[in-house]
Copies of this chain bind each other. A is one copy, B any other.
Amino acid sequence: MINCDISIARKFIQDDEYLKARKKADTALDHLKNKTGPGSEWLGWRDLLADPNDAELEKIGSLGEEIRAKADVFIVCGIGGSYLGAKAVIDALSPHFGSNGPEILYAGHHIGGKYLEQLLNYLKQPKENGEPKRIYVNVISKSGSTLETALAFRMLRELLEEMYGEGASEHIICTTSKEGGLLNKLIEQKGYRKFIIPDNVGGRYSVLTPVGLLPIAVAGIDIRTLFYGAVSAYNSYEENAEDLLEYAALRNAIHESGKTIDVFATFEPELTSLGGWIQQLLGESEGKEGKGIFPTVATFSTDLHSIGQFIQQGKRSLMETFIIVEKPFSKLQVNKLEGNDDELNYLAGKSFHEINTKAREGTTEAHSEGDVPIVRVSLPALNEENIGQLIYFFELLTGIFVYSLEVNPFNQPGVEDYKKAMYRLLGK
């Protein structure tokens, strides 16, 4: 299970401030449980863990297997919550180099012409053996009308129809709303395969629906263990959410103290994309009505050599949240070197994980002495079960924290503003 340690950050907050925030967190959790807060029609991300749909998991898993067997390239076509969760889990649990399944690529997450043109050219290029690439596209959009995704999907669809003719329909899977929306019309017309995004789950809370689970399954990751990891976290926090109430209260008190930035930092490079998922989950939920602590992402020790200076000594408006993996994935260790010409033999016999742990402990010491409150969130190991638990941990934290700000955690009214202006400029 996830361990959450707020002890370092707690020292930065007076008792009365903390207790005030703690009361708000308790109320917030009640709102979530009793569906009495604003936006409570969007609590499907809790319902789906309360009552797992094994048949759906089975169906997603078996399509994942089919695509793994048939595809050279699998394209996740979606933006925001339609791809960040899948990318977070895939990057966390896949090898850094090579893969034993299809290459997984992303599209529909921006309007960059260079990227899309080069992607299309790459897809058209035959494989080394001269055969055409076997390409599958999973388009993910509730409405089907999100501009970035719809544009890329139009181009990808044209390409697949060019390559496979009538057979193109076999290569396209739509993840969309149950009814309505543009994709449902296309599904009817073309016979694409379909998965449903539940009406009561918002984009940034949708990683454990087909939105995230199909791409994750295609990457060869065990979605049942992932999902049931989240279920175990759900059950555990229904019983006792003390850890999360403390964390939410602490973050609320830090918010009230005027800090404006929360650096989500991991020491495992494979967790960088998970930071991106947390950034949307929290940022899009809390950033309303002039409130919120801006979530930003760092990978240490890499970024200690870029923004480490600022965190240590720049304007004191920061807090940090460390995402920690306790058990090493790799046992790689430093060998003794004859001659010791690089003077590293004092580390011989130590694993990279041990050294990385000391880097983290040193950073914790230095930054907290530099007046940065630090929260530590640890997962026992880098595996499906623990990542599933971590997903629910941050979903629930977001719900509690944002309700305790007296903000609706489930809408995103501000995202419409740029779209409105853009559509006007495009003459729609």
Known: A294-B315, A328-B113, A330-B113. A145 touches B359 (CB 8 A): no
From residue A321, how far is it (CB to closest CB) to chain B in Å? 15
Closest residue on chain B to residue A259 by CB atoms: B260
Chain B residues whose C-beta falls within 8 Å of the C-beta of A413 in the assembled complex:
309, 313
Q: Are B268 and A288 in touch, CB under 8 angstroms?
A: no
Chain B residues whose C-beta falls within 8 Å of the C-beta of A382 in the assembled complex:
114
Q: Are B358 and A422 in touch, CB under 8 angstroms?
A: yes
Q: Are B261 and A280 in touch, CB under 8 angstroms?
A: no
Chain B residues whose C-beta falls within 8 Å of the C-beta of A328 in the assembled complex:
113
Which of the 9-residue segments A52-60, A206-214, A227-235, A299-307 touches chain B?
A: A299-307
Known: A353-B113, A363-B422. A260 touches B341 (CB 8 A): no
- Point out which of A128, A296, A300 has the most chain B C-beta atoms below 10 A from its C-beta: A296
- Cβ of A38 within 8 Å of any chain B Cβ, yes or no, is no
Q: Are A284 and B299 in touch, CB under 8 angstroms?
A: no
Q: Are A110 and B287 in touch, CB under 8 angstroms?
A: no
- Cβ of A334 within 8 Å of any chain B Cβ, yes or no, is yes
Q: Are B312 and A284 in touch, CB under 8 angstroms?
A: no
Known: A270-B112, A286-B314. A306 touches B280 (CB 8 A): yes
The proximity string for A residues 380-419 relative to B, scoring 1 for CB distances below 8 Å and 0 otherwise, is 0010000000000000000000000000000011110111
The distance in angstroms between the C-alpha atoms of A418 and B420, with both chains bound, is 46
Closest residue on chain B to residue A417 by CB atoms: B366
Q: Which of A184-237 contact B (CB under 8 A)?
A: 185-186, 189, 203-204
Give the residue of B111, B155, B296, B355 whose beta carbon is less than 8 angstroms from that of A356. B111
From residue A260, how far is it (CB to closest CB) to chain B in Å? 4
Known: A150-B342, A154-B337, A414-B309. A112 touches B362 (CB 8 A): no
- Cβ of A118 within 8 Å of any chain B Cβ, yes or no, is yes
The proximity string for A residues 164-184 relative to B, scoring 1 for CB distances below 8 Å and 0 otherwise, is 000000000000000000100
Chain B residues whose C-beta falls within 8 Å of the C-beta of A280 in the assembled complex:
305-307
CB-defined A-B contacts under 8 Å, sample of 20: A79-B305, A97-B121, A109-B305, A110-B301, A111-B359, A112-B356, A113-B352, A116-B352, A154-B344, A261-B294, A290-B314, A290-B316, A295-B310, A301-B418, A347-B426, A350-B426, A361-B421, A361-B425, A362-B422, A369-B417
16 additional A-B residue pairs with CB within 8 Å, beyond A110-B299, A110-B300, A362-B422? A79-B301, A95-B118, A96-B114, A117-B332, A145-B343, A151-B355, A260-B260, A283-B307, A284-B308, A284-B310, A290-B315, A294-B296, A295-B307, A296-B296, A362-B424, A365-B418
